[in-house]
């Protein structure tokens, strides 16, 4: 098994959190 799943899951979680924060910033300038 290549070591993809772990850091891919971490990256997806991190990107999802960043996207959420960007939405908050966009709504509350």
Model pLDDT for residues 1-29, shown as the tens digit of each residue: 566 678 788 888 888 989 999 998 898 77
Q: Which helix H or strand E contains 28, and what residues bound it?
A: none
pTM for the structure as a whole: 0.45
- Sketch the domain layout of the chain as residue ranges: 1-28
- Look at residue 1 in the predicted model and tell me its pLDDT: 57
Q: What is the DSSP letter of 1?
A: -
Rounded to an integer, what distance in angstroms lies between the CA atom of residue 29 and that of residue 1?
A: 45
- Look at residue 9 in the predicted model and tell me its pLDDT: 84
CA distance from start to end of the chain:
45
Rounded to an integer, what distance in angstroms lies between the CA atom of residue 29 and that of residue 25?
A: 6
């Amino acid at each position: 098994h290549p070591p993809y799943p772990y850091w891919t899951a971490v990256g997806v979680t991190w990107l999802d959190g960043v996207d959420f924060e960007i939405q908050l910033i966009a709504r509350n300038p």
